[in-house]
């Protein structure tokens, strides 16, 4: 599947997994753990930051085998805790693939004094990402642009051959780690760090794909939790078809709401225009003749219509400027694209850069997690054509250009097996209250997913934001306040609470 993500735009402001019962796994971790040794890294990340590396097994089934080095940083404010001692709050921004150590310093302004006086903020880069032994692959192969919408068997064969070649390059450059990039392994890494930091019950704020890390941790270690927030919920119990259908519908809903706003708002650069027609024309023209975006690292020189639709999903993550550009800026980007200048669309173009190992791991490591966590059963072009027909019928404007579709196509032919497939039931057996948060109009994570996950975790409560955008923590409204109250005091909102900000 895909990742449901706070996108790369945030950075400007996802052959076996251990089938060990939680007690046995925890005892193994405690037996082999050592303390985390922090060093000052304020010159890199800013005042209050320290950094550390920590070694964990590549394969948790065999803890004595080769290890992988995890990188992390920690923010400690000067504020004094009310109870005389701080706890740790693990923050993950999703992806899979977002480099948490780089993102935390950029979002510090979004954490209130109430939180930083109570918690030290821990940003652990998941295995294979950023400073944690980043996955490496062939950059040139990644940058070969190939259509994810094959129409003939020949097109499909070319896609699979490309995927296989790229996957082989990742295996050659990254070794056995590629077989163990699944989220259960990531959750066990979190447990190892929790124990090494003092063996206190964990606090987690997992945004987007980070919500899956959070509840898969709870699956494995249900008795080790103090507070756990999932914000922007990813449902790891969906089939390929239902996953694709629900994400397609939520993107279409957000696009329609944006188009209606953009055509009528005085804040929009497209006021008075038929925005749906404009985007249709842009996509059609760009698929025939890609829109120039200029040269530069991290993006191609132009952008196709299919790439435009994929990128637009990410651009709509926030109605106001913050974790995304905001709808007024998106209207300006589209107005500029209509003149033949796609510069504003380069932010999210998926090119890799030679020599940027950490930056490329956002792309390569994120794909490796998706291929380990989600099934991708298409074996012939007809399988993908059925999906294309489904999404074009349900979403005539955005037509299935969503992240789950990229995983279901890019992972076909991947050399590592799916080791953490979707469960029919997300089984979390903890008595600790868990807080799930979801906006009604999220372009990436469907409200359907949140309702389904809540129904599968008996101790969870779903808090709803009646608004637009992907994730709610950094909106700084009532919903943020409710999450902070839960993290600080364990206060859980009443069931079926809906907030307006």
pLDDT at residue 15, as a whole number: 29
3-state secondary structure of 477: coil
pLDDT at residue 31, as a whole number: 45
Task: Report residue 465 CA to chain centroid gap.
Answer: 19
Mind listing the pLDDT tens digit for each residue in 372-385?
999 999 999 999 99
DSSP class of residue 200 equals P
> How many other β-carbons are positioned within 10 Å of the β-carbon of residue 204?
28
Residue 428 to residue 432: CA distance in whole angstroms: 10
Residue from 174, 169, 192, 59 nearest 122 by CA: 192
Residue from 402, 406, 373, 35 nearest 215 by CA: 373
pLDDT at residue 14, as a whole number: 33
126 close to 14: Cβ distance less than 8 angstroms? yes
pLDDT at residue 29, as a whole number: 57
b/e string for 422-439 if b means 16 or more Cβ within 10 A? beeebebebebebbbbbb
Both tokens of 259, joined, read 């188009």
One CATH from 1.10.3470.10, 1.20.1260.10, 3.30.870.10, 3.40.50.1820 for 8-136+178-238+425-499: 3.40.50.1820
Both tokens of 194, joined, read 């929790």
Average pLDDT, the chain: 92
Residue from 409, 371, 402 nearest 148 by CA: 409
pLDDT at residue 350, as a whole number: 76
User: Could you give the count of Cα atoms lying within 13 Å of 93 in the half-sphere of its Cβ?
Assistant: 29
Residue 255 to residue 251: CA distance in whole angstroms: 6
Both tokens of 330, joined, read 């998106």
DSSP line for 393-416: HH-TTTTT-SHHHHHHHHTTT-SS
Handedness of CA 202, 490, 445, 381 (dihedral sign): positive
Both tokens of 144, joined, read 């070969």
74 close to 42: Cβ distance less than 8 angstroms? no
120 close to 202: Cβ distance less than 8 angstroms? no
Question: How far are the Cα atoms of 410, 437, 445 from residue 402, in angstroms, in the given order?
Answer: 13, 21, 10
Mind listing the pLDDT tens digit for each residue in 156-183?
999 999 999 999 999 999 999 999 999 9
Higher pLDDT, 393 or 25: 393
User: φ, ψ for residue 220 (rounded to 5)?
Assistant: -85, -35
pLDDT at residue 6, as a whole number: 45
Mind listing the pLDDT tens digit for each residue in 383-439?
999 999 999 999 999 999 999 999 999 999 999 999 999 988 898 999 999 999 999
Residue 95 to residue 235: CA distance in whole angstroms: 14
pLDDT at residue 91, as a whole number: 98
As a whole number, mean pLDDT of residues 47-52 equals 97
Higher pLDDT, 10 or 444: 444
């Amino acid at each position: 599947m895909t990742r449901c993500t706070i996108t790369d735009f945030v950075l400007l402001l996802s052959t076996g997994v251990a089938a060990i019962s939680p007690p046995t796994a925890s005892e193994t971790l405690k037996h082999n753990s050592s303390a985390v040794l922090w060093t000052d890294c304020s010159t890199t990340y800013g005042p209050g930051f320290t950094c550390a590396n920590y070694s964990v097994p590549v394969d948790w089934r065999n803890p004595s085998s080769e290890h992988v080095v995890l990188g992390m940083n920690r923010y400690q404010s000067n504020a004094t805790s009310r109870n005389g001692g701080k706890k740790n709050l693990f923050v993950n921004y999703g992806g899979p693939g977002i480099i948490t150590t780089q993102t935390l310093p950029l979002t510090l302004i979004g954490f209130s004094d109430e939180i930083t006086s109570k918690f030290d903020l821990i940003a652990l880069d998941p295995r294979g990402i950023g400073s944690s032994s980043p996955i490496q692959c062939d950059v040139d192969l990644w940058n070969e642009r190939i259509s994810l919408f094959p129409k003939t068997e020949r097109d499909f064969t070319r896609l699979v051959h490309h995927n296989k070649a790229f996957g082989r390059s990742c295996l050659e450059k990254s070794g056995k780690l590629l077989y163990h990039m699944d989220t259960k392994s990531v959750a066990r890494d979190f447990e190892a760090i929790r124990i090494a930091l003092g063996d206190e019950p964990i606090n987690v704020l997992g945004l987007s794909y980070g919500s899956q890390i959070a509840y898969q941790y709870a699956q494995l270690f249900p008795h080790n939790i103090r507070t756990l927030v999932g914000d922007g919920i990813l449902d790891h119990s969906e089939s390929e078809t239902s996953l694709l259908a629900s994400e397609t519908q939520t993107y279409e809903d957000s696009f329609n709401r944006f188009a209606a706003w953009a055509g009528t708002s005085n804040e929009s650069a497209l006021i008075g225009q038929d925005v749906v027609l404009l985007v249709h024309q842009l996509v059609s023209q760009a698929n025939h003749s890609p829109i120039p975006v200029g040269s530069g690292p991290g993006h191609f020189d132009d952008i196709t219509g299919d790439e435009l639709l994929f990128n637009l999903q990410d651009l709509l993550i926030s109605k106001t400027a913050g974790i995304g550009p905001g709808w007024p800026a998106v209207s300006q980007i589209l107005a500029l694209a209509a003149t033949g200048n796609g510069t504003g669309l380069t932010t999210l173009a998926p090119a890799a850069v030679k020599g940027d190992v950490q930056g490329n791991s956002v792309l390569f490591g994120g794909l490796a997690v998706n291929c380990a966590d989600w099934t991708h059963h298409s074996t012939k072009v007809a399988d993908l054509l059925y999906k294309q027909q489904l999404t074009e019928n349900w979403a005539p404007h955005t037509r299935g250009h969503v992240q789950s579709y990229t995983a279901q196509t890019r992972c076909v032919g991947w050399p590592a097996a799916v080791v953490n497939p979707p469960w029919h039931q997300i089984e979390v057996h903890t008595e600790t209250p868990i807080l799930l948060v979801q906006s009604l109009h999220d372009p990436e994570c469907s409200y359907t997913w949140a309702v389904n996950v809540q129904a599968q975790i008996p101790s969870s409560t779903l808090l709803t934001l009646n608004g637009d955008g992907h994730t709610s923590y950094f909106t700084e409204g009532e919903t943020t306040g409710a999450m902070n109250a839960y993290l600080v005091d364990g206060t859980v909102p009443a069931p079926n609470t809906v907030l307006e900000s």
